[in-house]
Amino acid sequence: MTLKLGVPSKGRLMEKTFEWFAQHGITLSRNGSEREYAGSVEGIDGMSLVLLSAGEIPRELAAGRIHLGVTGTDLVQEKLPLWEQQVCPMEELAFGHADLILAVPRAWVDVDTLDDLDAVAAAFRARHGFRLRIATKYHRLVREYLRQGGVADYALVDSQGATEGTVANETAEAIADITSSGETLRANHLKVLSDGPILRSQATLWRSRVAELEDADRATLATFTARLG
Amino acid sequence: MPNRSQTLARAGALRAMFEAQGAVPVEPPILQPAGALLDLYGEDIRARAYVTSDALRGEQMLRPDFTVPVVQMHMSHGAEPARYTYAGEVFRRQEHDPDRPNEYVQVGYEVFDRADPAGADAEVFALIGDALAHLDLRAATGDIGVLMAAVAGLRTTDARRAALMRHIWRPRRFRALLDRYAGRTRMPGARRNLLAGDPPKSPAPMIGLRRQDEIDARIAALREDASAAPLGAHEVELIEALLAVRETMPFALQQLRDLAVDLPAIAEAVDRIARRADAMAARGVDVGALPFETSYGRTSMEYYDGFVFGFHSVTRPDLPAIASGGRYDALTRRLGDGGEIPAVGGVMRPGLMLDLEGVA
């Protein structure tokens, strides 16, 4: 057996992860062509690389099919209930920064806080006959946040992409999404509520609490942990 | 842990007991149309219920409780007065606590009766209490109606009363609103700027369904609120004193009557509690030792609007309520399509009862 490390299979997140491991003397690389999802590890014995979609890494860690994995805090907290019991953060990697935020049209000059949103939701429902719709793909995180904030009379509508466009398209009145710079929000005439983000996320190296370790894997993990300093 | 057939056998026996009281057994389907439940509870229900769907019928929920389908059934074709009983599984997501089952058996009893609400409250409580008498349980009772009456009687604007009423079941938000209306919290800077001078116009284009006139209406409402006199400190103290009432029934009633001198709006609700206590005593409940707590039941699902009760294990405080229930007159109005009828009910969990009895 080897210690299995799950890494996002494409894009900037993969490149940045490879760079971060290289800084710790571990060379990760993708085999053969751009299209092949197999990889290799050099610089440490007993570790193997599994290339996966970033969104699947939380589930694989929780299932114990990989021992280590790199993915965002947002995805771990959205996809894994009681995540602390299933995975443990080993290291924040200082890239892939993104905040999960709530945004409303900039033209809503009367709305600045969650408290405003709640009042507007009550009035909106009375006027339009349905709940104020918030488009998101982060259902659990957003619902929990709004429950704790005491917001009522809203409904979440699923949006797996181009979420910022849903308000102009009149399929939602507000959105909750990940943003890194806010440019997309501005381009779509949206503004962020001032209460602060629902969650601050960054790429993080996680260890599965449930994956089985053989003695050799334990030794590899110890070597690796020591390498991180 | 009792096995499934033991639990179902106990559920059947409890249902038979309610049938012997004249209740009609009913069996609502496990799959419920999601619309009514979502409309009632809002998005929060999705965190508690399993939602599934098909292309033809749309979203369906595995029933998270029996009360809503029983009320729907009664309101569409029930005779009056009516008593119903049921036994079967309910389904609840338990994403915060893996030790709690996501599927368990409930037995319930629901009374739709205009004639004698106090008597109906006492009947439901006493029947359930008697069936649990052999277990070491602590009863809890409360009444959401007292707080609602107090809010309805506040000397302030309609908008403030409506906002407080809307958040009766969210104690933190309720508290924040009360503090704001009492002038105890400073207005946020953005709100002050918004209300100072002419309403600002955003350079951004209007997008979405919410139109300019809705924004203007909200700003007008905020201005009106800002110019309204703060809630009197004395009135806020009375509400706080009301929320703090936690005593055995006779002392609680004494405190509530004292408060009603200054809060005359609650007098009728307090009388209802007194009549209920008499009806309970007539059914053999030891009212002198029965706890009453004004805040009890405020964080549960928001349909109880009067009497609320629960039975909790003394030796196993980790367990959820072994039985619970309450009065839900407003629910019959919301699901009644123009009709309404006073209604009260309660559910028991035979699985937990067997646990406590030590059934292996």
Q: What confidence score (pLDDT) does residue A229 get?
A: 75
* Contact criterion met (CB below 8 Å) for A201 and A96: yes
State what percent of residues in chain A have pLDDT above 90. Answer: 85
pTM here is 0.86
Neighboring chain B residues of A143 at a CB cutoff of 8 Å: 43-44, 46-47
Q: Which of B180, B179, B175, B148 is nearest to B161 (CA)?
A: B148
CB atoms < 10 A from the CB of A29, how many?
11
* Contact criterion met (CB below 8 Å) for B145 and B276: no
With 0-12 / 13-18 / 19 or more C-beta atoms within 10 angstroms meaning exposed / middle / buried, residue B320 is middle
State what percent of residues in chain A have pLDDT above 70. Answer: 98
Dihedral over alpha carbons A13, A18, A22, A28 (to 10 degrees): 160
Q: What confidence score (pLDDT) does residue B336 get?
A: 86
With 0-12 / 13-18 / 19 or more C-beta atoms within 10 angstroms meaning exposed / middle / buried, residue B53 is exposed
Q: Which of A13, A43, A12 is nearest to A28 (CA)?
A: A43
Q: Do A189 and B47 touch (CB under 8 A)?
A: no
DSSP state of B239: H
Q: What confidence score (pLDDT) does residue A36 get?
A: 67
* DSSP β-bridge partners for residue B54: B58
B181-201 burial by CB neighbour count: b if 16+ within 10 A, else e?
A: bbeeeeeeeebeebbeeeeee
Spatial separation of the C-alpha atoms in residues A122 and A112, rounded to whole Å = 16
A57-91 burial by CB neighbour count: b if 16+ within 10 A, else e?
A: bbbbbbeebbbbbbbbbbbbbbbbbebeebbeebb
Q: Do B210 and A81 touch (CB under 8 A)?
A: no
pLDDT block averages, 10 residues each, chain B of length 360:
92 97 96 88 88 91 94 90 96 86 96 96 98 96 96 96 93 92 89 84 90 94 93 94 97 97 96 98 97 89 87 92 95 88 96 87
At A220 the three-state DSSP class reads helix
Q: Which residues of B touch A (CB under 8 A)?
A: 38, 42-44, 46-47, 95-96, 98, 163, 166-167, 170, 172-173, 176, 188, 190-191, 194, 199-202, 204-210, 212, 214-215, 217-219, 221-222
* Contact criterion met (CB below 8 Å) for B306 and B329: yes
Q: Do A112 and B191 touch (CB under 8 A)?
A: yes
* DSSP β-bridge partners for residue B245: none
CB atoms < 10 A from the CB of B277, how many?
23
pLDDT at A201 over 90: yes
Give chain A's mean pLDDT.
93
Query: What tokens does B277 get?
Result: 């206590």
What CATH number has the domain spanning A98-200? 3.40.190.10
B contact test, residue of A77, A78, A108, A167 with most B CBs within 10 A: A108
Amino acid at B314: V
- Place A171 in a pLDDT band, splitting at 50, 70 and 90: very high
- Place A35 in a pLDDT band, splitting at 50, 70 and 90: low
Positions of CATH 3.40.190.10 in chain A = 3-96+202-228, 98-200
Higher-pLDDT residue of B45, A60:
A60
Interface confidence (ipTM) of the complex:
0.85
Q: What confidence score (pLDDT) does residue B301 get?
A: 60
Query: What tokens does A69 get?
Result: 């994995």
Spatial separation of the C-alpha atoms in residues B109 and B300, rounded to whole Å = 19
How many angstroms from the chain centroid is the CA of residue B132?
A: 22
Distance from CA of B190 to the nearest CA of A (A): 7
Give the start-to-end residue ranges of the domains of chain B: 1-134+347-360, 157-199+212-231
Amino acid at B150: A
Q: Do B44 and A143 touch (CB under 8 A)?
A: yes
Neighboring chain A residues of B163 at a CB cutoff of 8 Å: 119, 122
Q: Which of A77, A69, A70 is nearest to A96 (CA)?
A: A70
Q: What confidence score (pLDDT) does residue B42 get?
A: 85
> What fold characterizes domain B1-134+347-360?
BirA Bifunctional Protein; domain 2 (3.30.930)
* Contact criterion met (CB below 8 Å) for A48 and A4: yes
Spatial separation of the C-alpha atoms in residues B192 and B196, rounded to whole Å = 6
Of B47, B170, B201, which is closest to A143 when you measure between CB atoms?
B47
Q: Do B214 and A143 touch (CB under 8 A)?
A: no
How many angstroms from the chain centroid is the CA of residue B71?
A: 15
Query: What tokens does A80 get?
Result: 């894994």
How many angstroms from the chain centroid is the CA of residue B231?
A: 26
CB atoms < 10 A from the CB of B150, how many?
22
Q: What confidence score (pLDDT) does residue A34 get?
A: 66
Interface A:B, Cβ pairs < 8 A: 103
Helix (H) or strand (E) holding B343: strand B343-348
Query: What tokens does A210 get?
Result: 């449930």
The annotation places the binding site of B for L-histidine at: 65-67, 92, 106, 110, 298, 303-304
> What fold characterizes domain A3-96+202-228?
D-Maltodextrin-Binding Protein; domain 2 (3.40.190)
A contact test, residue of B100, B218, B300 with most A CBs within 10 A: B218
Q: Which of A229, A13, A226, A202 is nearest to A92 (CA)?
A: A202
Q: Do A131 and B47 touch (CB under 8 A)?
A: no
Q: Scanning every residue of chain A, which has its alpha carbon at the shortest distance from the alpha carbon of B175?
A: A150
The secondary structure of A46-79, three-state, reads CEEEEEECHHHHHHHHHHCCCCEEEEEHHHHHHH
